[in-house]
């Protein structure tokens, strides 16, 4: 088998697929491609994709007047809204599916008119607010840890900072300056962005490593690779590199693609 994302022949490479957002004119569309091909297909209008644990569905943000969190099958069928905002000033976004498939964490402006983190079951029930940050410090980009015990998120303000809290919202702790956090598959490290550079931070010894230039990073190929994007908004490209930062290459040559997330198949 040819690992087309790395350009190497390797029969042990685990296959996967990538969901990403493609901007066409003024709309965002969620697309899916296999990681050993370069063909992709657009499945539905939306953004902020997050895979279900079995890779058969996506949670995403759908905008129709207001923004709501929805789920959809990977072929674009059976869309279901999990939140239902009625006020034009209330929006839900940035969903992330629990690796065990039980919960979805997301952000909402419904309670305080700025982003707070909420959690709900994967069916949309039992929606609960987890953070109560100050108006000038919205909380965004939550991700549930691989063991489903923690949530990492970005708290914005005069300076963006990465925070971690327990899955029930208790014990919030600031760990470093940065934004757009993402868990490593083993839960020991976090990827994040600081001044358009990608870093990893080990949660046991707090050691940081600069990996490369880019934004919205997340691990692929069980931690061996990192998918990310480069470029200004609406002109971004999807890229992939080794987790060490070596062998960085674009996945799709054209621009207007962002926010890649990988899952094994």
Q: Got the DSSP string for 95-139?
A: EEE-TTSSEEEEEE-TTTSS-EEEEEETTS-S-EE-----TTS-E
Q: Which residue has the higher pLDDT, 11 or 116?
A: 116
Give first-to-last CA distance, the chain, whole Å.
Answer: 15
CATH number assigned to the domain comprising residue 168: 2.120.10.30
- Residue 208 lies inside a defined structural domain of this protein: yes
- Residue 12 lies inside a defined structural domain of this protein: no
- Residue 168 lies inside a defined structural domain of this protein: yes
- Residue 7 lies inside a defined structural domain of this protein: no
Looking at the 3D structure of the chain, how many domains does it have? 1
pLDDT of residue 9: 35
Is it the case that residue 190 has pLDDT exceeding 90?
yes
Structure confidence at residue 13 as a pLDDT band (50, 70, 90): low
Q: Which of 107-116, 161-170, 237-246 has the lowest mean pLDDT?
A: 107-116
Q: Which residue has the higher pLDDT, 184 or 85?
A: 184
- Residue 6 lies inside a defined structural domain of this protein: no
- Residue 11 lies inside a defined structural domain of this protein: no
Most confident of 25-39, 50-64, 104-118, 132-146: 50-64
- Residue 10 lies inside a defined structural domain of this protein: no
- Residue 51 lies inside a defined structural domain of this protein: yes
Domain coverage including residue 83: 17-264
pLDDT of residue 8: 40
Structure confidence at residue 232 as a pLDDT band (50, 70, 90): confident
């Amino acid at each position: 088998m040819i690992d087309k994302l790395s350009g190497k022949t390797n029969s042990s490479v685990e296959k996967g697929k990538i969901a990403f957002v493609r901007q066409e004119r003024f709309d965002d569309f969620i697309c899916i491609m296999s990681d050993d091909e370069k063909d992709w297909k657009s499945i539905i209008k939306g953004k902020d994709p997050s895979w279900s644990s079995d890779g058969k569905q996506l949670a995403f943000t759908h905008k129709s007047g207001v923004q709501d969190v929805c789920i959809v099958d990977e072929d674009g069928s059976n869309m279901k809204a999990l939140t239902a905002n009625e006020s034009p000033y209330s929006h839900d976004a940035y969903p992330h599916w629990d690796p065990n498939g039980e919960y979805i964490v997301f952000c909402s402006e419904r309670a305080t008119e700025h982003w707070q983190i909420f959690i709900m079951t994967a069916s949309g029930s039992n929606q609960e607010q987890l953070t109560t940050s100050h108006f000038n410090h919205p909380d965004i980009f939550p991700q549930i840890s691989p063991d489903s015990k923690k949530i990492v998120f970005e708290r914005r303000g005069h300076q963006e900072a990465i925070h971690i809290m327990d899955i029930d919202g208790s014990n919030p702790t600031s760990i470093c300056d940065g934004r757009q956090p993402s868990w490593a598959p083993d839960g020991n490290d976090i990827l994040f962005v600081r001044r358009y550079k990608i870093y990893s931070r080990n949660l046991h010894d707090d050691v940081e490593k600069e990996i490369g230039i880019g934004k919205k990073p997340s691990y692929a190929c069980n931690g061996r690779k990192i998918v990310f994007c480069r470029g200004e908004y609406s002109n971004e490209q999807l890229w992939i590199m080794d987790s060490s930062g070596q062998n960085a290459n674009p996945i799709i040559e054209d621009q207007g693609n962002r926010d890649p997330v990988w899952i094994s198949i």
